[in-house]
Structure 1
Amino acid sequence: MAETQQTMTEFTYATGETDVIGDRFSPSVVLFWLRTSVAASDMRVMYKSPNTLLGVIPLGSSTQTIPLRNIASVDTNTKFNLGSFVWGAVFLVAGLSFLSSSALVGILFLLLAAVNLANTMSAQLDFVNQAGGRNSVKVSILEKDKLMQLAQNIQQLVFADVEGLRHQESMDMAQKQYTAQTNSVLIQQQMLDQQRKTAADVDPSPAQTE
């Protein structure tokens, strides 16, 4: 799929979306030819990451879209993948045990072990919502610095959106207060007019005599 000029990713944005940023990453040290894409605008965040079997066989991809207003913070961290470590150790033991009896099977297991052990450490980007839930994107540990830079840029969009929402809420509150005050003045004026009319009906002015 063609990359957009704004973000160098395959995502496209609607007319009116601004502050578009994004980048592409390798999902792991081994699968350097695949790409995980992350992009954001002033309205939403989108990311697309490949799915794999045993950490090496591509099985399609998954795409996620998150409204920017649903994001409370953007975090990055280094992740230790226990599953990859365990599978790597299992494949390593199996490969060493099969080398003497079947070299081909042993080499295959050793390759799977190398792939999983190489993926033991990864960089992770977390989009945290107001309830504490997380949407996570994992990329190669070698691209952690680039991921952190993108995370900072997206965090700035989140802060700008929060400030915009606060400003809008403040304007809405001021408008409601003004409307309430105006209605109160109108009601008081109507009550005063009604009292004057009632007083005039009950106590009319005496007719003048010559």
Structure 2
Amino acid sequence: MQNQETMTEFTFAPGEKNIIGDRFSPSIILFWLKTSIAASATRIQYRSPNTLFGLIPLGSNTKTIPLRNVAGVETDSKMNVGSLVWGVVWLFAALCTFGSSAVAGLILLLIAAANLANAMSMRLTFRDPSGGGNIITVSILEKDKLTQLAREIEKLVFADADQLRHEESMDMAQKQYTAQTNSVLIQQQMLANQQQS
């Protein structure tokens, strides 16, 4: 897990605390593309790349979710039947094309390999109170890392925010009282020194 300084693609407000995050490969084939997820005590941010046929990068999807709007954090592995079917279709197309054009056959074979490699994936879902969710899909090879980050985000979601705010306000009140008491003691000391002289 990375800290705020290494999650440079996200900007956090000065008062945000407990910042955690990490980067994941969304695809086994496109390992250089990264999905970034970060969370603080107030919000979750993520950016995931979009691809065409699981192979051609086409921009990214960015979202910010207030932490109070997250009812639960879930992880699961998923078999993407569509990716599997398309992988088999592209594989047959590649095998049929190799006889007439090796270049076209190789391109279709790469598309087939990308789809077959991404047939299994790992998902992180942020559930909202109405039951809907924001789903982030990453490579199945990132399962352990994603599960660890999900646990850390879950701790932030289920922290007692009211209790934390109460403790912060009590701490601030204690600091103000101490500062006022010190000020009064300094004034009394100065007054005593003036009376002695």
TM over 0.5: yes
Partner of 2:161: 164
Partner of 2:55: 56
1:30 aligned onto 2:29:
yes
Whole-angstrom distance in 1 between the partners of 2:161 and 2:53: 44
Q: What displacement does 1:71 show?
A: 0.3
- Consecutive unaligned residues of structure 1, counting only runs of 5 or more, are 169-210
> What RMSD, in angstroms, separates the aligned Cα atoms of the two structures?
1.8
User: TM-score, length-normalised on structure 1?
Assistant: 0.74
Partner of 1:121: 120
- Identity over aligned pairs, percent: 58
Aligned residue runs from structure 1 range 53-202, under 5 A: 53-160=52-159, 163-165=160-162
Q: Deviations over 1:142-167 (max 9, x none)?
A: 0110000000000000010xx22488
Is this contact kept in 2: 1:92–1:113, CA < 8 A?
yes
Query: Which residue identity is paired with 1:129?
Result: D
CA distance change for structure 1 residues 62 and 68 in 2, over 3 Å: closer, same or farther?
same
- Secondary structure of 1:49 counterpart: strand
Query: Which residue identity is paired with 1:133?
Result: G
Q: What displacement does 1:101 show?
A: 2.0
Partner of 2:181: none
Query: Which residue identity is paired with 1:8?
Result: T
User: TM-score, length-normalised on structure 2?
Assistant: 0.79
Is this contact kept in 2: 1:7–1:20, CA < 8 A?
no
Aligned length: 164
Q: Deviations over 1:171-197 (max 9, x none)?
A: xxxxxxxxxxxxxxxxxxxxxxxxxxx
CA distance change for structure 1 residues 7 and 132 in 2, over 3 Å: closer, same or farther?
farther
- Secondary structure of 1:114 counterpart: helix
Whole-angstrom distance in 1 between the partners of 2:87 and 2:20: 36
Q: Deviations over 1:18-77 (max 9, x none)?
A: 000000011110110011000000000000000111111111111000000000110100
Q: Deviations over 1:86-118 (max 9, x none)?
A: 110110010111112222211211111001000
CA distance change for structure 1 residues 96 and 72 in 2, over 3 Å: closer, same or farther?
same
Q: What displacement does 1:7 show?
A: 5.6
- Secondary structure of 2:103 counterpart: helix
- Secondary structure of 2:6 counterpart: coil
Aligned residue runs from structure 1 range 2-13, under 5 A: 6=4, 8-9=6-7, 10-13=9-12
Mean Cα deviation higher: 33-42 or 97-106:
97-106
The structure with more radius of gyration: 1
Whole-angstrom distance in 2 between the partners of 1:25 and 1:13: 20
Is this contact kept in 1: 2:3–2:20, CA < 8 A?
no
Query: Which residue identity is paired with 2:51?
Result: T
